[in-house]
Amino acid sequence: MSDCTRSCMQQSAIKSYDVRGIVGKDFIEQDTYFFVRALLDFLQKNNHDPIQKIIIGYDHRATSKTIEQFVVQACVDFGVHNLFVLCVPTPVLQFAMHQGFADVGIMITASHNPLHYNGLKLWYKTQSLQGSALQSIWQSMQSQQYRLPVLQRVACLQSTDFIMQAYYNFLDKQFSMLHNMQYSVLCMVSGGPVQSLLEWCIQHFAWQHVDIVGCKNNRECIVFNPDPTSLETQTFIKDVLSNKTYDCVLAFDGDADRFVLYTSQGKILSGDEVGFLFVQYMGGVSAVMDIKTSGGLVHVLQEKGVQVILAPTGCADIKKAIYEHNAQFGCEVSGHYFFKEHHFIDDGLYAALSFLQCAVQAGCLHDVCAALPPLHDSVEMRLPLGTAFDRDLVVNYLHDTVCKQYGEDINLIDGIRYHTEIGWLMMRASKTEPVLSLRYGVFDVHYKAEWVKIVKECIQPFIVQAVIEKYEW
């Protein structure tokens, strides 16, 4: 039939945890209509309960509103007429799913990726759809022909006020100590929809010294890079701090499932450092931390009697380990945090408010950060390297050669991580970008030069010198 067509979405857009790619290259906006039709067919086929309610969230990217229209039309054409559509951070949609407000959740976002990217994060009930399920949906979509979608005004959109009110009530209950907080805080929102939630916090908690930067008045344009650790964001924050004093900076990624803490001097505290502070204030918990976590922090926590479980990098793997070990908390170096009382949803705003509440309880925000032990760790280095095969080859080389000479405590759950009496080293292939992730540290600064020499010898056969020299060793 001439009015039928197939999707042009490339398989490269199907990632481990979501659908994500460059709009116009990996997929076009219309392709999301076909993918959601295939998604709903897949869910209906594999589950007994009928799909009756769907929540659709979207961020402020230029392509998000158009994609939202195609997603809504796909749901209507499938036969679902109870639709809740709202511009929200991803964690609010996850919260709504855990409250049982819908059967399916669809979030339109590319998180921290550049602005020409977009994608879909998907849930059935409280479970995220990932990996093989996403591949099956894509393959089903490729085998189908669908009528070209005709975007129409949809009359079945429901009020979403109750979703936001439930989330705000939850924040009010969890963070009662933040009323009239006196800390001076700068919030970088990267133009994402978390801005409206922060504005609610400022008004509701009566904060007098909290500023928000990142979104123009029309809310249509993201001002800064959606990655809160990007050089652009770091430079902007340092410029602001050179002219005005803040106790800290809270920087959120594009869909606010992640937050990054900057000190008053503009120094980034990595997610394992902030996680260490959370564990300190929780007291006596077991914690899941990702494979990139500082060996020094792991050692200190274990000395304090905390059970530390290292897990592969990735929210799904962290949550899996949390449930397997009945842990109370989880975190990633990148800035994802998972709290038991919040269904282990990685909610950047919730984590940021938790940090501020720790500071209020301590009486001094700077004292909270001062609880960090002295560390001699590198930043996470992201080293560009061709194909996934090339990246795996380097990791295998590290295992076959260097570990036999230096390794004493080897962990192979995600790439390779090993400890010696001198220090520790981690290398893994990224699941979302064509890079090798490398991080290392020493337990005594006197051994740093020796350990850096060992690390450089590992990677120099594969990484160009200019990339190596880009980082401070």
Contact 133, 18 (CB under 8 A): no
With a CB cutoff of 8 Å and minimum separation 6, the contacts of 19 are 9, 13, 27, 35, 119, 120, 121, 122, 134
With a CB cutoff of 8 Å and minimum separation 6, the contacts of 116 are 22, 23, 24
Spell out the domains of the chain, with CATH numbers in brackets.
4-164 (3.40.120.10), 175-370 (3.40.120.10), 376-470 (3.30.310.50)
3-state secondary structure of 20: strand
Residue type, 89: P
Exactly one of 7, 64, 111, 354 is catalytic; name it. Answer: 111
Contact 84, 230 (CB under 8 A): no
Going through 52-201 in order, the beta strands assigned E by DSSP cover 53-58, 82-87, 104-108, 117-124, 127-128, 146-147, 185-188
3-state secondary structure of 457: helix
Global confidence as pTM = 0.92
CB atoms within 10 A of CB 158: 15
Active site residue 111: yes
3-state secondary structure of 121: strand
Report the alpha-carbon distance of residue 151 to residue 275 in Å, rounded. Answer: 45
pLDDT tens, position by position, for the chain (473 residues)?
346 677 899 999 999 899 999 999 999 999 999 999 999 999 999 998 999 999 999 999 999 999 999 999 999 999 999 999 999 999 999 999 999 999 999 999 999 998 899 999 999 999 999 999 999 999 999 998 888 788 877 767 889 999 999 999 999 999 999 999 999 999 999 778 999 999 999 999 999 999 998 765 544 445 568 899 888 889 999 999 999 999 999 999 999 999 999 999 999 999 999 999 999 998 878 999 999 999 999 999 999 999 999 999 999 999 999 999 999 999 999 999 999 999 999 999 999 999 999 999 999 999 999 999 999 999 889 888 766 667 777 777 777 766 666 556 788 899 889 888 889 999 898 876 778 889 999 999 999 999 998 888 878 888 888 888 888 88
